[in-house]
Amino acid sequence: MKITLSTDSPASAKVDLVAVGVYAKGAARDPAVKAIDRAMGGGLLSAIKEEDFRGEVGDVLKVPSRGKVGARWVVLVGLGKGTPKASDARVVAVRGAQAARQQRTLAVAIPSDGPDAVRAAAEGALMGAYKYSRYFTGSRKPRGGIRAAVVLVDDKKAPALLRALEEGVATAEGINLARDLVNAPPNDLDALALADAARKACQEVGVKCTVWDKKQIEKHGMHLLLAVNRGSKTEPRFVHMTYKPAGAKRRVVFVGKGLTFDSGGLCIKPPKSMVDMKCDMAGAATTIGIVWAAARLKLSVEVHGIIGATDNMSGGDAYRPGDVFPSLDGKTVEIINTDAEGRLVLADALAYARELKPDFLVDHATLTGACMVALGRWTAGLFANDDELGELYGAAARDAAESFWRLPLTEELKETLKSDIADLKHTGDGYGGSITAALFLQEFVGSSKWAHCDIAGPAFLEQAHAVGPKGGTGFGVATGVAFLRALARGRDA
């Protein structure tokens, strides 16, 4: 999709659809609505009244225009009550793009004429137009959808707005890249294909990508990753992506869980719980999307992306409850539940990542159902062993309008990870499951300033919610990119 800036007014923009955000009970006072209504000879306010459009969150009204309006259709998007904010532009653009049937061009009227709103609108237009249609044939192939969009501003040549537009496009394309990977079926996206996808994404933006095969993984002593892989016919892969711009003063390492399918291993999942386990590599997809977007934007931060990739199957050599394995870190781990495999893969990846001496180390993983029990499907858990990092990442999440909630690393719960025969058990006693999982990971980060993002809920949705589509959402990419933008601009100084 091509997205540009335009100084047209909402009433004059010559597009198929114009999308306008409306706050609760404020349609009659909104300048854009009033201008379009005048051009329609009173038709818009009449339609608002007839359809009982109130501007509440989730309300969308699409009406054909008439009179002197430049657009063929007008889409009003409810923004609810509260203080207007730049991120509202993302919602307007998403709903406008989603409202398209055979329409191909969209104009987005943003609530404020600043860089943050322009960035959000650009993200929203691309996110709203997203459809995963690779496997549709014949009449199932989508025929409509937005192909070009304009964001309506006062000065289309302002450098700050043009940079914000570029940032929004790159971030959204990183999000959609992650969505494509998460939505891909597991018979097509195994560990080898995930590594190839990372390599291809890196090639597109000139980023170095190193991929280790099973022999190299064995040589480097990643025994926990290899343990999870034992029940699979497909070899594991370990991926290291490196974006290293000249003059970078900060180094951030992102680690992603790359479980391309999780059957639960010998502790097999029930069928209903297994259906969507292609999404268990969403942390890896998020990592790829962040590195790709950072390189695309040429951010002045050194960024590494680390992925351990395998599936978790129940073949004849599968690892078992009661087994003990060494780790890359050197600690030995007693296996309790083979369906808690992600933390094992992450443990070796984090131990590798810490040796890169990052200023900040961040991992993303669809790690625990316990986090979903605590926070619901739409909010990710954020753990941090450093308050500065926790505050910076929380601020980035707010900037990106992604829902994170900081959870504690409760020291007392470490007792539940003590093993009678090894250094650690990899699960606790069933209580505080998301916390004990994070505490296990913390054992492998050394002295790094580290944040753990448990994205089990919002990474993959059974039904669309807010700006997230059904299926893979690309959750976490926007926050990661916002965090890197803030570092590049020195906001942590």
CB distance 421 to 334 below 8 Å: yes
The token duo for 77 is 């998007």
Q: Assess whether pLDDT exceeds 80 at residue 492.
A: no
CA–CA distances in Å: residue 329 to residues 210, 223, 326, 347: 21, 10, 8, 8
| Model pLDDT for residues 61-96, shown as the tens digit of each residue | 999 998 999 999 999 999 999 888 999 999 999 999
pLDDT greater than 80 at residue 359: yes
Average pLDDT, the chain: 96
Task: Output the CA torsion sign for 161, 29, 55, 48.
Answer: negative
At residue 26, the pLDDT reads 85
Q: Do residues 117 and 149 make contact, with C-beta atoms less than 8 angstroms apart? A: no
Where helices occur in 338-378 by DSSP H, the ranges are 342-354, 369-375
Q: How confident is the model at residue 260 (pLDDT cuts 50, 70, 90)?
A: very high
- DSSP annotation of 132 reads -
What pLDDT sits at residue 493? 35
pLDDT confidence of residue 212 = 98
DSSP 71: S
Phi and psi at 461, nearest 5°, equal -110, 140
pLDDT given at position 28: 86
Whether 491 shows a pLDDT value over 60: the answer reads: no
pLDDT recorded at residue 355: 98
Q: What is the pTM of this model?
A: 0.96
- Enzyme catalytic residues: 269, 343
Instruction: Kindly report, residue by residue over 283-330, the tens digit of the pLDDT.
Output: 999 999 999 999 999 999 999 999 999 999 999 999 999 999 999 999
Burial degree of 80 (CB within 10 A; 0-12, 13-18, 19+): middle
Q: What is the 3-state secondary structure (H, E, C) of 149-169?
A: EEEECCCCCCHHHHHHHHHHH
List beta partners, residue 345.
none
- List domains and CATH numbers for the chain: 2-153 (3.40.220.10), 173-488 (3.40.630.10)
Assign 5 a pLDDT band (cuts: 50, 70, 90): very high
Which pair of tokens denotes residue 146?
């937005």
The CA angle 217-220-224, to the nearest 5 degrees, is 65
Give the model confidence (pLDDT) of 379-397 as tens digits. Answer: 999 999 999 999 999 999 9
Give the pLDDT confidence score for residue 113 in this predicted structure: 80
Tell me the average pLDDT across 276-280.
97
Are the C-beta atoms of 306 and 291 separated by less than 8 Å?
A: no
C-alpha to C-alpha distances, 35 to 9, 85, 121, nearest whole angstrom: 9, 22, 21
Task: Note whether 30 and 55 are within 8 A (CB).
Answer: no
Q: Within 10 A of 246 (CB to CB), how many other CB atoms are there?
A: 6
The answer to which of 62-71, 134-143, 253-262, 410-419 has the lowest mean pLDDT is: 134-143
